[in-house]
Amino acid sequence: MKLPPDFRKRVLAREWLCGTFLNLGSPITVEIAGLAGFDWVLIDHEHGPGGEDTMLHQLQAASATPTFPVVRIAQNETVRFKRALDMGALGVMAPYVSTAAEARLAVQAMRYPPHGIRGVAKFNRGAGFGGDFEEYYQHGHERLLTVIQIETVEAINNIDAIAAVDGADVLFVGPTDLSYNMGIRDQLDSVPFKEALRKVVDAAKKHGKAAGILVHLPHLVPMVREMGFTFTAYGSDGGAVRSGLLGLLAALKAK
């Protein structure tokens, strides 16, 4: 498969890019989201129920649309990057990264030698089953997107060093985990949480990276945009389905 030549550049240029999380394990909702016009989608294999076969089908569904598919793996382990990338993920999100060393491990797992430690196999879906391997090998480190998730107090304390890691393209705040780890559960409008967010944005700008975040409430979208977040996701397929079904039920029960 062909690697999009400009998406990573747009991310690093801090263009406003709209995404959503897909946590149902469904190829159908991946395709719906891609056709709806989201710039990127996050296929969640940290908290979502899908397995590797599901991931493959979700990535195939994404390919039928213009969207840029990012897979969130369950843990920052080299083998998990390799599986997602070989299946055709164009970006990978590494959860719970708290140090520069962990960020470097993620970047190395994304890239073939001499730029990293990713195992080389020509016959995989990511490389067009061999047909696109040469271009994929030569340009993968320039076009695949590495998203580093910021979810702990330690990560905030180390944010400048994490942002300085070459290839750590997006510093992506996981607001639920971060707020719980800060002891301010879901207090996303609080002063301490906003201060943490500003540290992420400032570090990203200082080192030429993008800041990203997931939000669940519409009033938070303009807030994070004003703060400088650009790689921003709103909601999820699971949340949308539940909200929609509750609305249908309410209409049926209305007197």
What pLDDT, in 10s, does the model give residues 192-238? Answer: 999 999 999 999 999 999 999 999 999 999 999 999 999 999 999 99
User: Three-class SS of residue 251?
Assistant: helix
Q: In angstroms, rounded to a whole number, what is the distance separating the alpha carbons of residues 234 and 42?
A: 11
Q: In angstroms, rounded to a whole number, what is the distance separating the alpha carbons of residues 26 and 180?
A: 28
Predicted structure pTM score: 0.96
Domains, the chain: 7-253 (3.20.20.60)
Taking a C-beta distance cutoff of 8 angstroms, is the pair 117, 109 a contact? Answer: yes
Output the average pLDDT for the chain. Answer: 97
pLDDT of residue 218: 93
pLDDT of residue 117: 98
HEC string of 54-108 equals HHHHHHHHHHCCCCEEEEECCCCCHHHHHHHHHHCCCEEEECCCCCHHHHHHHHH
The catalytic residue among 47, 115, 139, 216 is 47
Q: Which residue has the tokens 């290839």?
A: 167
pLDDT of residue 255: 87
Burial class, 62, CB count within 10 angstroms (exposed 0-12 / middle 13-18 / buried 19+)? buried
Strands 210-215 and 231-236: parallel
Question: What are 14-57's pLDDT values in tens digits?
Answer: 999 999 999 999 999 999 999 999 999 999 999 999 988 899 99
Whole-number percent of the chain with pLDDT over 70:
100
* Nearest CA-CA partner of 162 in 150, 153, 173: 150
The strand pairing partners of 42, in sequence order, are 21, 70
Q: Is 45 assigned a catalytic role? A: no
Tally the C-alpha atoms within 13 A of residue 173's C-alpha that lie toward its C-beta.
Answer: 35
Structural tokens at position 61: 């569904």
pLDDT of residue 206: 98
